[in-house]
Amino acid sequence: MIQKRLFVIILMAFCFISLSSEKKGFNGIAKGEWKASPELVERLSKRRSETNYDEQKVTEYTLPDPLTMIDGTAVADAQTWTFHRRPEILELFRTYVYGRSPVERPENMSFEVFDLERNALGGSAIRKQVTVYFTGEKEGPKMDILVYLPKNADKPVPTFVLLNFGGNHTVHSDPAIRLSESWMRPGEGVKDHRANEASRGRSSSRFPIEQILKRGYGLATIYYGDIDPDFHDEFKNGVHPAFDRKRGPDAWGSIGAWAWGLSRAMDYFETDDEIDQSKVAVLGHSRLGKTALWAGARDPRFAIVISNNSGCGGAALSRRAYGETVKRINTSFPHWFCDNFKTFNDKEEDLPVDQHMLIALMAPRPVYVASADEDLWADPRGEFLSCKHAESVYHLFGKKGLSKEPMPDLNQPVNEGTIGYHVRSGGHGLTEYDWQRYMDFADMHFEK
């Protein structure tokens, strides 16, 4: 009798295991979901033996619940989220991850439109270039915003804003774009305008401006080095010294400064009648994708927030420690985050937040996260999981999060909900494919 019962139990267990293994792969990946190429995993693992690229070696983790307050209270409605839990999470990110900016809109900040061309790009566009003097002083820190708008728009134009890596003049070959001064590390030379002239239009593949205009959108871009040069100098250059009094362990790093600069661009958009300030989408690639997410979290004026291959400290869950880790990023880039973030090196499980909560801070606004098949350093699955675990907050607002589950396969964008996601073929980069998906998403949410 006992033997018979045992047999039935074993048989049931066997059926259960084979059923579930049919649904899920050995490492929890369902059929039809994206999966990293095993050859690539092997190759990268050999190259960087200290980095984990193996899904099976991701250790179990527990994510903090976006819907439980620090004191344990459950968040059951949008009101409680908006007025209590959201500010609490935002403060945790300020304190432990990106740091705190000492000022918001500086009192004396001023704008100077130094270029306005209504027949740019062969007559198809309006071009504007605007200098933002952060302290109002001409000698103080400043940034140039380059704006292209479609000509003959009959109303204010919805606009994408993003920072660029190489200088405004690298985004298009238009000779009228003012050269951005390049910032190099001390010892490498200071400003080399000849090098800049040679790099005019160099990054134009990342900025399909003509296509953006054709689809009825504007594009605004700023050289990130104008806001803060991207190397560690104890925060002596860029905007930090102009506003810092004393720097504590929660003082803003470079990502904090870049995100703050995007909000200052938004301040300018509010003064420009040709830009629809209620329809500004902030976008960023890689470290600037981390920046776009933090900008969108800090500043609800950004109507759509888009992260392109942002990875660690961006859309990827830190607790997975897959690809780039908290320790790795804090070691290679000690100036990006606040000093407190370094206390979580190899201790991701102690973080009071994880990156799904950053995505959740956008709710109920639309947010889009994109990964690339070969960009395992940025952990595509971790980026998808952040979106998934942010959904509960969107549900409080009666919004759909992702429109489909589980993780989609290559080049199958999931973009009908309020959270969009895709993983496209290829490596780390911002491509035309990505742009087209972002514009599809914006078309839907801006009701174009």
Say how far apart CA 180 and CA 197 lie, in whole Å.
10
Are 408 and 85 in contact by the 8 Å Cβ rule? The answer is no
256 binds ligand GTR (CB under 6 A): no
Output the CA–CA distances (angstroms, integers) from residue 316 to 49, 349, 358, 369, in the order listed: 20, 14, 10, 10
Of positions 324, 354, 383, 434, contacts ligand GTR by CB under 6 A: 324
Minimum distance of ligand GTR from residue 254's CB (angstroms): 11
Nearer residue to ligand GTR within complex by CB, 275 or 329: 329
Minimum distance of ligand GTR from residue 312's CB (angstroms): 5
End-to-end CA distance of the chain: 70
Helix H or strand E segment including 439: helix 432-445
- Residue 100, SS3? strand
320 binds ligand GTR (CB under 6 A): no
The reply to whether 286 belongs to the active site is: yes
Minimum distance of ligand GTR from residue 274's CB (angstroms): 31
Q: Looking only at residues 426 through 445 of this chain, which bind ligand GTR when binding is defined by CB under 6 A?
A: none
Nearer residue to ligand GTR within complex by CB, 329 or 361: 329
Q: Where are the beta strands (DSSP E) in 181-303?
A: 218-223, 275-285
Q: Looking only at residues 125 through 184 of this chain, which bind ligand GTR when binding is defined by CB under 6 A?
A: none
Number of residues that bind ligand GTR (CB under 6 A): 7
Output the CA–CA distances (angstroms, integers) from residue 60 to 27, 54, 318, 351, in the order listed: 12, 13, 12, 15
311 binds ligand GTR (CB under 6 A): yes
Considering the candidates 204, 263, 395, 428, report the single residue annotated as catalytic.
Answer: 428
Say how far apart CA 121 and CA 400 lie, in whole Å.
40
**CA proximity to 318, closest of 402, 378, 239:** 378
Structure tokens given for 346: 């190899």
Residues with Cβ within 8 Å of 296's Cβ and at least 6 positions away in sequence, in order, are 282, 302, 305, 361, 362, 365, 367
Say how far apart CA 343 and CA 45 lie, in whole Å.
26
283 binds ligand GTR (CB under 6 A): no
Nearer residue to ligand GTR within complex by CB, 129 or 325: 325
Nearer residue to ligand GTR within complex by CB, 293 or 414: 293
Say how far apart CA 409 and CA 389 lie, in whole Å.
19
Q: CB 5: neighbour CB atoms within 10 A?
A: 9
Of positions 129, 221, 286, 330, contacts ligand GTR by CB under 6 A: 286
Nearer residue to ligand GTR within complex by CB, 288 or 361: 288
Minimum distance of ligand GTR from residue 345's CB (angstroms): 15
Of positions 312, 357, 376, 393, contacts ligand GTR by CB under 6 A: 312
329 binds ligand GTR (CB under 6 A): yes
Are 355 and 294 in contact by the 8 Å Cβ rule? The answer is no
Minimum distance of ligand GTR from residue 224's CB (angstroms): 10
Nearer residue to ligand GTR within complex by CB, 313 or 406: 313
Of the listed pieces 144-152, 324-332, 358-366, 433-441, which binds ligand GTR according to CB under 6 A?
Answer: 324-332
Report cis status (omega within 30 of 0) of the bond before 406. yes
Are 291 and 259 in contact by the 8 Å Cβ rule? The answer is yes
Minimum distance of ligand GTR from residue 438's CB (angstroms): 18
Minimum distance of ligand GTR from residue 332's CB (angstroms): 6
Nearer residue to ligand GTR within complex by CB, 156 or 426: 426
**CA proximity to 359, closest of 427, 310, 414:** 310
254 binds ligand GTR (CB under 6 A): no
356 binds ligand GTR (CB under 6 A): no
Q: CB 364: neighbour CB atoms within 10 A?
A: 15
* Residue 164, phi-psi category: left (phi > 0), alpha (psi -120 to 50), beta (remainder): beta
- Residue 227, SS3? helix
Nearer residue to ligand GTR within complex by CB, 111 or 165: 165
In one-letter notation, the amino acid at residue 289 is: G
Of positions 206, 279, 287, 389, contacts ligand GTR by CB under 6 A: 287
Nearer residue to ligand GTR within complex by CB, 226 or 379: 379
Structure tokens given for 3: 């033997």
Are 351 and 357 in contact by the 8 Å Cβ rule? The answer is no
Considering the candidates 101, 182, 254, 286, report the single residue annotated as catalytic.
Answer: 286
316 binds ligand GTR (CB under 6 A): no
List the catalytic residues: 286, 428
Binding-site ranges for ligand GTR (CB under 6 A):
286-287, 311-312, 324, 329, 332
